A and B are shown apart, each in its own frame.
Chain A
Amino acid sequence: MTPSTASSVREPRVKAKQRPGDRIFAGSTLTAGTLILAMLAAVAAFLVIQSIPAVTTDPGEIPILAGETFWSYVAPLVFGTLWSAALALLMAIPVSIGIALFISHYAPRRLAQGLGYVIDLLAAVPSVVFGLWGANVLAPAVQPFYSWLTETMGWFPLFAPPASGTGRTILTASIVLAVMVLPIITALSREVFLQTPVLHEEAALALGATKWEMIRTAVLPFGRPGIVSASMLGLGRALGETMAVAMVLSASGGINFALLTSSNPGTIAANIALSFPEAFGTNVNVLIATGLLLFAITLVVNSIARWIIARRKEFSGAN
């Protein structure tokens, strides 16, 4: 699209000489742009085609469903996926904004730089490592705390007993997910906060605002769309995370809001990873169909994020 509109604008002027570099560059960017669409379409087509048998076949003939319908099989997984990702974001966003503000506005410059590197390093740790850490270090460490919570706060539905004997609950999985999405949200928010026009900040300070008031009136409103899109990127990672959840979470229950028991809902991605190695025949189609659902959920989440960012644009001061 872009090249044609560009050329129509250019036409009345003196015709620019077309250098080979221009053509090659325009062509390669066009290819790159088309490629991403083609790949997305290919993935979507694969998912849809492979999913059809899962819905059309009689559920009684698909061993993995164990006599249930496809929807009752996938419902706890969808719930677990959304629930764990939401919990993770709930923990990660405030901490990330705190770190980002500290780096951009509070820390001495040298410390800020070092901290930035460390955060970026956290983003490079493979998810298997997070999974190992969560299952072998974090879970046993928090288990006594979980027992204590269920004993003293058991009346609160989220902390309903019995406590897991190993600590491998959905709360632990969400903590691991929170640690994994933390660097993404922090890095993006930090960049956005650093973009705040200095004039705005100085104006706020000149009007007598304290540093906190300056951040509240100048930095945060300016950065809000950035925070939202950073959070959505983080959410995307939390929704799709496979290995870490598969290793940390004890997925042996249905839809259940209790955070500290052994019976937790699984997540779509982790369930595919766990069930795929031994799956065959229509079982594979069922798993791919759950993957399609995850694809759709991610798409919806991203669209909502786009919509929020677009809606907020005029108030953000970014223009």
Chain B
Amino acid sequence: MSKFAYIDNQPYEINEGETILAFLKRHRGEKYVPTLCDAPQLEPFGSCRVCSVEAALSENGPTKTVASCHAPLQEGMYIYPDTKKIRKLRRNLIELVLTDHPLDCLTCEVSGNCELQDVAARVGMATVRYPAGANHLDTPKDTSHPYMTSDLSKCINCYRCVRACDEIQGEMVLSMHGRGFTNRIIKGMDTSFKDSPCVSCGACSQACPTSAISDRFKSKSIAATNNTRTICTYCGVGCNLDVSTANGEVLSIQASGDSEVNAAHTCLKGRYAFGFYKHPDRLTKPLIKEGDGFREATWDEAYDHIAAKLKDIVSTHGKDSVAGISSARCTNEENYLMQKFIRAVVGTNNIDCCARVCHSPTALGMQKAFGTGAATNSIKDLDVTDLILVCGANPTDAHPVTGVKIKQAAMKGIPMIVIDPRKTDLANLATWHLQLRPGTNVALLNMMAHYIVTEGKVDHDFINERCEGHEEFMAQIRELDIEEHEKITGVDRQLVREAAVAYASVDNAMEFHGLGVTEHSQGSKTVMLLSNLAMLTGNIGRPGVGINPLRGQNNVQGAADMGAQPHQGAGYLDVTMPEHQEHYRTHYGVDVPKEIGLKIPQMFDAAIDGSLKALWIMGEDIVQTDPNTHHVTEAMESLDFLVVQELFMSETAKLADVILPGASFLEKEGTFTNGERRIQRVNRAVDPLEGTKADGQIVVDIMNRMGFEQKGYSADVILQEIAQVVPFFAGVTWEGLGEFGLQWPVNPDGTDTQIMHKKEFRRGKGMFHYFDWVETTELTENQEEYPYILTTGRVLEHYNCGTMTRRTGNAEIVDRDILVVNPLDAKAKGLKTGDPVTLRSARGEATLEAAVTEDVKPGVVYTTFHFPEIMVNYITGNVHDEETMCPEYKVVAVDFDKAKATANA
């Protein structure tokens, strides 16, 4: 039975628990009730009172004035939302607001897009009758920050910025200050944006109904003539962005309000760090190596040169003397084309992508355990989970929008286990921070499994019905020597026990992991152990549970899905299986190679030993980002021919024979697939910079130039082809993806999948694996000479090698890599914060600045790798995950001492 309430005596259906405002909006439209302090992503607050309505308990009965935004609707209530009295009250309220607001609308940056202006117009303000009184009109502007601005003379004290900073970003950088009429917004300790702990996410600016808080790009102005919805190019969260443009230039970016991924929120990279796209450093002409430098060339010249060179190398050294590295920054369509080019045109499986250096162990580990190497659940499941386990991930820096969702849950008391050698933002909030020694994930996760088994917390129904290998696994895990493992990990066994029991005791526990799991010598094994925990406790196949890798790059999921890896083609089909070879042959129209190709580290070795002659790299700076820079550089220099598609003259591009200027995400179309398997549409906001081409177009051009007929680069056309080749893209069409995207597998009828492995695993039964912890050879071989452990990670402000973010205002916020050292170690080394430090490993050395904090335990140091001046990867080593060859960035034997010169001098 439907329940009703009345608007102006007309009955309307009500929703259980809704506010009067929500009810009125549903039936009379979003804008029917004027509001100022209300905002869709924020809790009802009740400060402006403009949404007041009259409410009665009987038809035309005695009414009460209530603020509709927080007044609960009751069945049978009579709402009178627009009476003469209400109109007058709203007018009187706005009149009061205007006694303390500048009346300079014509010169205001948000004129035409100001909520106060709209509401004032709607209530019919004529005059302000109050005599001039105290006001805040002289409040000075704050233009201290590279992005954020404030002009608090325009502030109406609605608290939306304060609430956004708290309720969305979880940062609490803003507050009201003072009392009553003297109230004013402060940043940090009543300082400027620049000097405050602001993380520049821009949530406050987007939430502000006036121009009191805004940004350098005037993102709320109506100067733009076009607005394009697209997907962020940075991390794997996949934020939806609204790009404002005019005259072919990007003016500003805001987070799309209705997006399922990021609902009006994003981080400073997505919102503000777009200036790189028209930076003067952009490459705008093909370049061909000549002597010690490069000469500019036409596209035709470059293509002819490449085609001739590749044909020559293939005919002399064979197809397998050529390799390609695709890009997780590029679209699905571009990745599909790149692997197709290498496989169908060149004829080798030597194709890989940067997933090799990040989540290849996730893909492999989860394929072995469950049958699919992708997130089992969706990020929105955070709303219903009862416990969060974060292992080896620092999402508030590296995956900010997902990170703050986890943070919000933890702040509100959802129990959280954080397994990390560092005191990350989330670790500080965690119920249990298991601060293990880097490189001991396997030992720690085995301890957790041991306690789940020995404390009787196993979900036997689940494992008996849906898994295999559990009996052997449990027999082995029972025998675990806990005392020894406590020593190995350095984590108190009781803490591990409590965390394990908590994980196993709640109804729904959700796991997240990052590169702190995968970038280890036992990375793939660690992923399988995480899978063990989920299976042991039945945390698979429903909302609020599962294993959820936080994918690092915007389309690293897609790059692997599209086959940019040497052992599996598009759609993860094994390249050695005849039926799959036939599948590809049918669709590509040519025979495909049958042997597994080279992984990236193997390509380096092959280049050095002379068997690999040519390499084509699409948008990856392997020299700066892959470990052991000396080795990578030697490999590049050993090649006969290196082609690089790039936006900028990267460290890798400098070593190329031909450089082809690609286009940025703002200049192309296609699809990106985010970390929760969501395929989303990337729309072109501006045309490619003159002289540059979309990377997909470049690949298509060269395919044609080499005699393979490939249709031109257009997202919907390529997507049609992909839908035929990749089984789990069966129902994907450009139109069908819509505004919110679809999560694969997408069935032929277009329905998608939020949660995987519901009834059974993709591989049938979930597979348990047992592994003993083994110390990495990096330490066993080097720790005598290099007794400290270096672990690496990222900061919020920069993205990977910083090619893009260093060319934006982000570089004004963070301009160097630093080495984090525990105070005890710092004391032993005579170091203090700010001192230059020389960091050494068996491979090389780098000099950077020390930051002395307790974020790491004694014996462990930590740094980022965003700045080429430092080249931290001179330090990192050759050890890889045994199975996927994902490099061990997270454990490096080092030593360090105070340096004589400053780091960046």
A and B: interacting chains: no
